[in-house]
Structure 1
Amino acid sequence: MAFSSCLLQSHPFVLPASLNLPPLSLSSKSLKPIYTIPHRELLTSISASTSPSPSLTHQLPPEFTTEQLIEAIRQKNDETVRLTSSIGPPNSPISTPLPVYEEIIRKLGHLGSFDSMKQILEVMRVSNCSPNEGTLLIFIRSYPRRHLYDEAIGVLYVMEQAFGLKPSSYTYNFLLNVLVEGKKFELFESVLSMMFARGVEPEVSTFNIWIKSLRISHQIRYASSVIKEMSNYGLAPDVITYTTIMQGYIEEGNLEAALRIREEMIAAQCPLSKKTVNILILGYCKEGRIEEALKLAEEMWVEGFRPDQTTFSTLVRGLCKFGHVKHALELFDLMLQEGFDLNTVMYNTLVTVLCINGQVNEARESSIR
């Protein structure tokens, strides 16, 4: 289904010319049949040839279980975990369970040892242990930690071409969100285009991530077109959709647009979340409309909403910013009565405003509290 024309004009969805995913295949030298070595002998060789950290040999009982092996791998802090991929239950050295392989890959991903991760996939292949979508998701999680976004996208091709796995909407959504968080908007657009082109049905979360990308890239004005696109797939906005749009407008200083979205949300009988309320309170406070912020908090209280740390912090800062120090102190006391901690930003704001207003004694009392 075609994307909205205004979005296409502003953001052409062009696939990258090349995705630099290193090949998964390994040479015969690096793939010597270590899975034929008895598991205890292998563990001893690992201990002798790697870092001085305690070896897996000393952490495992003679008849260890899969769960014990996984836990031992989690405790390792170096690449000795790569060689443990060949370990299976005693007398069955090539039957390493998939969860063990996945834990090794996950550990190597944290270390940034991507070549070793790919070696594990090859070991799995020759051991007739097929990875599933979750296995490949570990790669997608790991690459962006080292800012390797092209490689993360390349995993989609590896899934299909090397393992015959068709990425689901969950995998696409996960990758899309990673790209948005990394502010890789052109890559995000390419993957989103790829998802639609390959006939993967989008979900509400897909469109929520799309709207999130518009918010972060300061183009929330196109959100209405995304909402229209949702309806073409028989999908309706949820609380996350509306809240993200409101947040985007408030971040751009357009409270009135955010309030219009709130009215749409109410008309759609979509309940407000605590985050929705906090974002609207922030919008009012940024505009100096403190009474309306407090009124909203009171209305929500009647409806069962209970303020959290963010609510109190936003209101106290807003009150201080616009000179309502007395009310800020009252709210500060209520916050303490409710059992919330005073964070550094709010504390500094309160004390600074008190000092500026010549209320040094009150500032001193606040510091004692």
Structure 2
Amino acid sequence: MYHRRLAANYSFICASSISKCGNLFVHLHSHYHSICCFQVQFHNLTKSLQVSTKEGFKVYRKCFMPVSFYSSTATRRLMGPPTRSLRRRMRKRALAASKPVLDESRVQKAMEKLPPRFTPEDLYNVMSVEEDPLVCLELFNWASTQHRFRHDVLTYHVTIKRLGAASMYKEMDDIVNQVLSVPYIGSEALFNTMIHYFIKAKKLIRAVNIFKHMQNSMKMDCRPSIITYNILFSGLLTVGRNTYISYMYMEAARNLFKQMINDGIEPDVFSLNYMIKGYVLSLHVNDALRIFHQMGAVYKCHPNSFSYDYLIHGLCAQGRTKNAQELCDEMKMKGFTPSSKSYNSLVNAFALGGEVENAVEYLWEMNENQRTVDFITYRTVVDEICRQQSVQDAVCFLKELQEKNLVGGYSYKRLVYELEDSKY
């Protein structure tokens, strides 16, 4: 692409320097879009002009500018995919075009509902039934300019909730700064809402700063509670899906858990499940088992189905199928049903470990409990049946799956194709 543009610029300079060949250059310009024959035309042009290459490139260096004889659409077609800066500009334009417009009539109707000397409670009652975040923000800003009016926790809270739910994080950040600048304004629910939406906006540092502000607050009703810690645990463990990222943030979650215990806040089943999940994601399954066994003995709360599901998945990922099977049996004895993720992990772990019979047994159990089996699980079981038994047994297994309507037509065809292409 670059050489073609260079050739076009060079031909333009050469043709402009020799007036006798102007007609030939115009002819080439009109047929420029015939990309396939461009090089031949350019070769004939330079040969007929008999211009020195050295002199021509001297002129080219002095007069170089990105001259293009084709349209911008053709340019984008020839240049390939758009650059990152172009995609960023296109995204900004799309956001600007899709940005909602303030409805002045709705603002006027909302203002008419307020009494002449309205209180923060009156403003809250109007804003709480208003669904448009722009109208709520306009009401908030308009009320701030009224004489002898001061916002309270309710008006700040409903405004932040409306802006955060609409993903208007820049406007929400401005309101949050107003709250933090007033020492006597604040509540635990208000600060928890701020932390929740900052985590949703992937502004984890901002959420931690709000948490520190809560810790340093002189008002006891603004101090962090178990709900605050659970929101932070959720944010730390959903930053990334990579194991290394989970390992990095799990250290911060572990320190936060220690701080919660030191502050005298007893963890509940949700915070303990967050710790189990974090240890499993960071491949620290033994630490997850330690938290699991401490749930009833130390923290006086019993595990639920999520506690077992996280551990079964983590144990299967490390090939510890025996421990995972014991937990699954214990889970079913307590009346819980394993999730699809736990069943798929068990079936894959048993199949990869060479225990095809156990894998097939859990597969039928999944069907009885109406749990979804993914395609990778089916393929793993079929491959292991081919490896340990025979292709004929795998074909019989596929037919049995089809007769029980466990696989659709598309998945069945894919499994058959995989079976035909296998080395067995």
- The normalised TM-score by structure 1 is 0.64
**CA spacing shift, 1:108–1:72, aligned 2, 3 Å:** closer
**CA spacing shift, 1:234–1:325, aligned 2, 3 Å:** same
**CA spacing shift, 1:146–1:83, aligned 2, 3 Å:** same
Counterparts of residues 167-316 of structure 1 (less than 5 Å): 167-182=224-239, 183=246, 184-230=249-295, 231-266=297-332, 269-275=334-340, 276-299=342-365, 305-308=369-372, 311=373, 313=375, 315-316=377-378
Q: CA RMSD in A?
A: 3.8
- The corresponding residue for 2:127 is 66
Q: Percent identity?
A: 18
Gaps of 5+ in 1: 1-50, 359-369
Between the aligned partners of 1:217 and 1:234, the Cα distance in structure 2 is 26
Between the aligned partners of 1:52 and 1:260, the Cα distance in structure 2 is 54
- SS at the partner of 1:118? helix
Between the aligned partners of 1:355 and 1:88, the Cα distance in structure 2 is 72
Contact 2:276 2:291 in 1 (8 A): yes
| Cα shift at 1:357 | 5.6
| Cα shift at 1:203 | 0.8
Higher helix share: 2
Contact 1:281 1:315 in 2 (8 A): yes
Between the aligned partners of 1:356 and 1:146, the Cα distance in structure 2 is 46
Kindly indicate whether residue 176 of structure 2 is the aligned counterpart of residue 106 of structure 1.
Answer: no
| Cα shift at 1:205 | 1.7
| Cα shift at 1:212 | 0.9
**CA spacing shift, 1:266–1:145, aligned 2, 3 Å:** closer
Between the aligned partners of 1:209 and 1:349, the Cα distance in structure 2 is 37
Kindly indicate whether residue 101 of structure 2 is the aligned counterpart of residue 54 of structure 1.
Answer: yes
| Cα shift at 1:178 | 1.5
How far does the alpha carbon of each residue in 1:9-37 deviate from its partner, in whole angstroms, 9 at most, with x for none? Answer: xxxxxxxxxxxxxxxxxxxxxxxxxxxxx
- The corresponding residue for 2:216 is 161
- The corresponding residue for 1:150 is 205
Higher relative contact order (CA 8 A, sep 6+): 1
Between the aligned partners of 1:160 and 1:287, the Cα distance in structure 2 is 50
| Cα shift at 1:215 | 0.4
Tell which structure's C-alpha radius of gyration is larger: 2
Between the aligned partners of 1:215 and 1:234, the Cα distance in structure 2 is 22
How far does the alpha carbon of each residue in 1:11-69 deviate from its partner, in whole angstroms, 9 at most, with x for none? Answer: xxxxxxxxxxxxxxxxxxxxxxxxxxxxxxxxxxxxxxxx9852141444523543453
Letter in 2 for 1:86: N
Letter in 2 for 1:72: D
Between the aligned partners of 1:223 and 1:174, the Cα distance in structure 2 is 20
- The corresponding residue for 2:189 is 134
**CA spacing shift, 1:91–1:56, aligned 2, 3 Å:** farther
Between the aligned partners of 1:52 and 1:327, the Cα distance in structure 2 is 55
Letter in 2 for 1:298: W
